[in-house]
A and B are shown apart, each in its own frame.
Chain A
Amino acid sequence: MTDIFELLKGKPGDPDYENKGVIVQGITGAYGSLHAKQMIAYGTNVVAGVTPGKGGQKFEDKVPVFNTMQEAVDATNAKISIIFVPAKFFLSAAKEALESGIKLLVAIPEHVPIRDTMETLDLANKKGATIIGPNTPGIMIPELIKIGIMPPMPFKAGKIAVLSKSGTLLYEISDALTTAGFGQSITIGIGGDPVNGTRLIDAFEMVKDIPDMEGLVIVGEIGGDSEEILAQRIIDIGFNKPTVAYIAGRAAPKEKRMGHAGAIIMGNYGSAESKVSMFNKANIPVAKRPAEVPVLLAGKMEKSD
């Protein structure tokens, strides 16, 4: 199992403890440069960028830009990269990263073909690497490291883990949590695609043993059955930390893709009812509105005291 905290923070005593280097693939593009700046401003240690043909430049006068991932990794020894290239170039960028020894790859692009995602996952498996995304807002430990595109305001350091398929709902619900006094220990964007590098269940395995975790929030949506599988896992292992879920798409029509490639109900597969009923079985309350999440969480905490 991936020790996500070791990847994101390292071990106490490591020279780069809580200062892990991150490489930005596509750093000179409009989107990549905007978010590279934002990540740096948040305190993320962006050590290099990669754009073929732009090697030798300095991004913001300090971050070296390389032509290839291998050069960037050789120069920095970084194990984390974030990809901002257009979807059709994702596969080659991801392969290059994995072949160069990247162990945590955050895949931002939307509209990556499923076959390309599956090929990337196949290679990641062989290399023992973890993929977050594609079509994800990213991953963060609030107030320590942000590898993604999320705005900083909604988040605050704390003890609630948040797992979300949707980006803006992650912001919305984290904002509601923060306002209610619940900071976050980690937030993981699963992504809105049908095939995810880190599935909800994988993300759960990453966070379930955090020693001082006080609660878990699961933000799901219609499509697939990853929420059901997670609920079953929670029942099976008797996970008893206060947990609250939210499911978007209760009013969505069947057989229509609702914005995300993965958000589609086919027959009964992927329906909100199926997900809500499995969470109910697992004794996890499902909020009707994002604003209800902290209220339900507070209720759960009171009971578990």
Chain B
Amino acid sequence: MQLLEFQAKELFREYGINLLESISSTNIEEGRKHAKELGYPFVIKIQVPVGGRGKAGGIQKCQNDDEFELKYPQVMDLTIKGEKARAILLEKMADIKKELYLSIFLNRSKRCYTIIASAEGGVEIESVKNQIIKEIGLGDVSDELAKEVAKEMKLEGKTAEQFVDTLKKLSKLTIEKEAELVEINPLAIMQDDSVMALDGKFVTDDNSNFRHAELQKYQEKTDNEIQAEKSGFSLVELDGNIAVVGNGAGLVMSTLDMLSDNGGKPACFLDVGGGATTESVYEALTLISRLPKVKGILVNLYGGIVKTTVVAEAFLQAYENNLIDLPVFSRLKGTESEKAKEMLKDSRTNIFDSVEEAINAAVMGIKK
């Protein structure tokens, strides 16, 4: 999961990384109180788990009450890359000399943690120039290495000292919380040559959640996602009207691609995991029945050893219990498919031999 800026900063604070004074709120009444405590000028920052906030107008300077009353609701109402505001962070205005870039990320191809640092920060990582890249194994950064990075960035005196300190604390945080990515962009050099984290990005390795009860308060899931997780499924909700269900992440992605190629609009990605049983397919249909906008269901199961009759039984039960009243376009690869077709011939489920046929029928059958 990707934490919000203020959550990442809570962790930074805990590890002693320098920060400006800031307070988060979820409504304007709270915000007004914080504005008084903080004092003008400050910056209003939208809290969404995606980048590109500045460009989208989600970060606004605020000099007085009038500006606050105007801008707070404006920022709160923004949707950035499909994400609505979770909170608003008010942060003291900074008087900065220079912006740096610093991150520690899991380098997948090298299979180790890697530092990226640059004396030219404040822009998206793709545009960060003169990147200094250091591979650091399981994440530990020695004093010596941190000093070397500072030197390569041509930092001196107090700034270099504080940078070294920040980098070491960031490494400790990465290791202890098992992050996939921790980024400070920008890391600012202030007028007094100190360094401060002006932004914070933090991506956890969700597979290590069982070791990190302390991070669970940041977990943000819809009821459907919680339900999916309980069933051992993975669910990603999308904007279209055809629910896509299958077994195996690769197969479901592939089905999503083919549906989109044919002009269909997926409403969700639902991977029911390796095997398919009557229960798991019935649970998947239960989940889908709760999603808005779904006009039909596309099912792509590569059973192998699975009996398709077992899956057909789930559809029949779902109709019988009035769980769904939607057309289902299904491709079931497995044994007993003739019998499964016979079972479903009077229902709203159509079984096809190839996924291409199922997709064509779904797209034709579900015109908006």
What is A's interface to B at a CB cutoff of 8 Å?
38, 87-88, 111-115, 118-119, 121-122, 149-151, 153-154, 164-172, 175, 192, 194-196, 199, 219, 221-226, 229, 246, 248-263, 266-268, 288-291
Q: What would 6 A/B residue contacts be, using CB atoms closer than 8 Å?
A: A88-B210, A114-B180, A118-B111, A166-B248, A248-B251, A288-B261
A166 in contact with B251 (CB, 8 Å): yes
A149 in contact with B274 (CB, 8 Å): yes
A167 in contact with B208 (CB, 8 Å): no
B106 in contact with A166 (CB, 8 Å): no
* 8 further contact pairs, Cβ within 8 A, besides A166-B250, A261-B207: A113-B207, A114-B205, A172-B302, A248-B253, A248-B254, A248-B257, A251-B261, A258-B234
C-alpha spacing A268/B51, complex, angstroms: 12
C-alpha spacing A256/B178, complex, angstroms: 19
The one of B207, B246, B258, B261 in contact with A111, judged by C-beta atoms closer than 8 angstroms, is: B207
0/1 per residue, B113-126, Cβ < 8 Å to A?
Answer: 00000000000111
B189 near A: Cβ within 8 Å?
Answer: no
B301 to chain A, nearest CB (A): 9
Interface of B is mostly: mixed
C-alpha spacing A261/B354, complex, angstroms: 28
C-alpha spacing A150/B236, complex, angstroms: 26
B352 to chain A, nearest CB (A): 13
Q: Determine the chain A residues whose CB is within 8 A of the CB of B355 once the complex forms.
A: 289, 291
Total number of B residues with any Cβ neighbor in A under 8 Å: 54
A259 in contact with B252 (CB, 8 Å): yes
**Which residues of chain B in 40-70 are interfacial with respect to chain A, using CB atoms and an 8 Å cutoff?**
49-51
Which of A224, A254, A255, A256 counts the most B-chain CB atoms under 10 A from its CB?
A255
* CB-CB under 8 A for A219 and B250, given A88-B210, A114-B180, A118-B138: yes
Q: Determine the chain B residues whose CB is within 8 A of the CB of A171 once the complex forms.
A: 302, 304
What is B's interface to A at a CB cutoff of 8 Å?
2, 49-51, 81-82, 106, 108-109, 111-112, 124-126, 138, 178, 180-181, 205-208, 210-211, 234, 236, 238, 246-254, 256-261, 266, 269, 271, 274, 302-305, 333, 354-356
* CB-CB under 8 A for A291 and B354, given A114-B208, A251-B266: yes
The one of B124, B206, B254, B356 in contact with A169, judged by C-beta atoms closer than 8 angstroms, is: B254
B238 in contact with A253 (CB, 8 Å): yes
A114 in contact with B257 (CB, 8 Å): no
Q: Determine the chain A residues whose CB is within 8 A of the CB of B238 once the complex forms.
A: 253
Q: Determine the chain B residues whose CB is within 8 A of the CB of A289 once the complex forms.
A: 254, 258, 355-356
The one of B106, B250, B304 in contact with A195, judged by C-beta atoms closer than 8 angstroms, is: B106
B108 in contact with A168 (CB, 8 Å): no
B208 in contact with A192 (CB, 8 Å): no
B254 in contact with A261 (CB, 8 Å): no
A16 to chain B, nearest CB (A): 29
A252 in contact with B253 (CB, 8 Å): yes
C-alpha spacing A149/B247, complex, angstroms: 14
C-alpha spacing A192/B251, complex, angstroms: 12
C-alpha spacing A151/B305, complex, angstroms: 6
Q: Determine the chain B residues whose CB is within 8 A of the CB of A252 once the complex forms.
A: 253, 256, 269
B212 to chain A, nearest CB (A): 10
7 closest A-B pairs by CB: A166-B250, A259-B249, A168-B248, A151-B304, A113-B208, A169-B250, A251-B260
* CB-CB under 8 A for A258 and B108, given A115-B178, A251-B259: no
A168 in contact with B253 (CB, 8 Å): no
